[in-house]
Amino acid sequence: MECSQTSPYDRLHRQSVHKYNMIQHRSDTMPRIASRARPVSGTLIPSFCFETIGEMANYAAHIVAGLVRERAALGQRTVIGLPAGSTPLATLREVIRLHREEGLDLSSVVLFLLDEFYGLPADSPQSHRLWLQRQLLDHVNIPADQVYFLDGQLHPSDVDLHCRRFDEAIQHAGGFDLVLLGIGINGHIGYNEPFSVKKSRTRLCTLDPITRRGVASDFFGEENVPMQAMTVGLSGILSARRVLLLAIGEHKAKIIAEALEKPTTDRVPASYLQEHGDVRVLLDGPASSLLKGASMPWLLGNVTWDDDLVKRATLWLCNQTGKALLKLDADDFRAHDLHQLLRHHGPAEVIAQKVFRWMLDTIDYHPAGTSPKKTLCFSPHPDDDVISMGGTLIRLIEDGHDVHIAYMTSGNIAVFDHDARRVAELVADYNQLFQIERDRSSQLASDVKQAIDQKRPGHPDNEALLKIKGLIRQSEARAAAIAIGCKEANLYFLDLPFYRTGTIAKNPVGAEDIAIIEDLLMRTSPDQIYVAGDLADPHGTHRVCAEAIFAALLNMRSRNEKTPDVLLYRGAWQEYPLHEIEIAVPLSPGDLALKRQSIFMHESQKDKALFPGSDPREFWQRAEDRNRGTADAYNRVGLPEFFALEAFSRWKWNPI
C-alpha cells in the first residue's frame, strides 16, 4: 500500500519549494537552481526524486532552515541528529550558504553527531568529530556547548556509561526534532548494522565487513578501518519527530528498493523507517533507479507516454521476455501490464519498429563527424580518458580530428607509497650515475623513505610525497595518451585547486577551478567536448569536475561566446542503461587491444589499485567487460552485433 503523502512536513515542503522558486541569488561559483522534486509512487515511505544532488541538497537544507526558523520564532531550540559522510555534505554546504548569505541564525540549534569510530586517534582525518568541525561548525554560529559528540577514545570500561549519558543528553534537550540520515549499501542507518535490535540504544557496535569496505578509501586501505564504532541506536533515531533520509548514487539503488518497497526486516535496519509517522526520503535519479515508481511507473497505474518512456518500457519488455525488439507481439505487451502503451501507441509492431529505429540511430562510427574538428576530452583523474572512452579517442584520431585531453586533477592520492619510494630512489640513482645533483636527490630519497616509515595508517602524505605521486600519474597519463596516437602538445594537466587536499575529502569547487576550465575552453575553442557524466558520484571528484565544466560553459553562454557540443561518458564503475544511450561507438578487436595497451601504461593502477572499490577486476577488465556487455545488450534487442561499444549521452544544457 502506498504511504500517504500527508504529514507535518507538508507545510515545510511547500515553503521550501516556494523558497527555491523565488531564489534569484547567484553565488560566485555556481548558479542557483529551482527545485524539481518528483514524488515517487509505490513506496512505503514518502519519497522524492531530484534531477541533481545540488537540488536535493537545496531542498534538504531549506527543510532544515525552515524548521530552525519556525521553532526559533516560538522561542524554542531545534535538536538535530546528524551523520558524517559524503551523503549530507552538499546539504551542509547549502546550510552554510544560507547562514552566510541569507542570515540563517543557527544559534538555537542543538546538534548531536550520530556516530563515531571507536579507537581512532582524536586527530585522525577520518574522525567524525573532526569532519563535523571542518564541514559545518567552523562556518556557522552553533554554540560549542550545544554540540554533542560520542567519544571514541574512551576506555572500554567507560563506554556503557558514556552511551547512557549521551541518550540522557538527547532526552534532556527534548528529543530529536529532526534526524538527517544516509543509508549504507547494507541498509544501516547511523552504524546500526543489519540485525540491529529496533529498541537498541546508543552503544558500541562491531562494523559489518560491507561497511568497512565502503569506507576503506577514506582510510587508504580496508586494513586501516576500525573494527568498531559508537552509534545512536535505532530507538533514538526512530523516536525523532521528523526524519530525512538521503541517498545518492547507483550503488544505493538496490538497498533503497528493499528499504522502501519491501516489508520491514532487521536485515535492513532502514526499513524500520516505514513505521515512522513523519519521514521523507530524498533520492537522486540513480539511487531511485530500481524503484518501480521511478523505473517502471507503468506497473503502478496510468502514465503519460512520451518518447523516453515508450523507449524505456519497450526495452524493459525485451529484457522481461528475452525477445529482440522486432519479435515482440501484442501478447507480450499485455502479459506484462503494458496494455495502455499498446492502446495509445500500438499496434505492437509499430511500437517495436519505432524503438528499433531509435536505437539503430544511436550507432555512430564517427561521433564527431567526418570533417576535421577539434575535440577536447576532460578526464577527472589521469586515467579516466582511456578507461572510459579510449576506443572513441582512437576513432577520433583515426578520423583526422584534432584531439586534446585535459587531466583535471593530479590523482596523487591513488598511488602506493612503495611506488613513490621506488621513483625517488630511481631518480637518486639516475643522478648518481650521471653525476647530476647527486646530494639533493639522495637527500630527497632519504626524506621520502623517512616520511613513509613515519606516516601513521590512514594519514595523508606530506607535500613531497604528493608531488612525486602526482608526477607518477602525470607521466603515466602522457604515455597512455601517446599510445593511442594523441599529440603530447595537446595534453593539459590542470591540477584543479579543489582537489589539492591530500585526502579523500575535497574542497568545494571554487571560482579559481571554474576560471581554469574557462581559460582552457577559450584557448582551445573545441567543437566538441567529452565530460565524465557520473553526476551521482557521491564521493565527488567526477561529479564536481562535471559541475565545474558545466558552470564554465554556462558562464560562456551567458556572454554569448561559442560553446561546444557536450557528450557525457561514464566512469569505470557503471554504464548507461540502454534507454539513456544516445551515441554508441563501435570498437573493433584492434581498437579494444590498443585501448587495453594504453590502460596498461597506468602502471601505478595496474594489478592492484589503491582505491579499487568493491569490484575485484582490474580497470582494463572492467572497461572491456563493460564495452562488450554494451555490445551484447544491443545484440539481445536485435540490433547489429558488434565486438564492443562505448556509450555516450548528451548534456541538455540544464542549469546544474
Beta-bridge partner residues of 491: 405
Give the Cα separation of 50 and 5 in Å (integer): 17
Are 199 and 235 in contact by the 8 Å Cβ rule? The answer is: yes
Nearest CA among 233, 182, 188, 231 for reference residue 208: 188
CA distances from 199 to 235, 317, 469 (A): 5, 43, 48
Q: What are phi and psi of 405, to 5 degrees?
A: -130, 130
Q: What positions carry a catalytic annotation?
A: 193
| H or E element, residue 530 | strand 528-532
Type of residue at 607: D
For β-strands 203-206 and 228-231, DSSP reports them as antiparallel
Q: Which residue has the cell 544501516?
A: 188
Whether the ω angle into residue 347 lies within 30 degrees of 0, i.e. cis, is yes
Dist. CA 22–CA 4, nearest whole Å: 28
The answer to whether the beta carbons of residues 476 and 601 sit under 8 Å apart is yes
Q: How far apart are CA 8 and CA 38, in angstroms?
A: 19
**Identity of the residue numbered 417:** D
Q: Torsion angle, CA of 333/334/338/343, rounded to 10 degrees?
A: 100
Residues 6+ apart with CB under 8 A from 429: none
Q: How many residues does the chain have?
A: 656
The sheet carrying 203-206 orders its strands as: 115-117, 228-231, 203-206
Give SS3 for 650.
Answer: strand
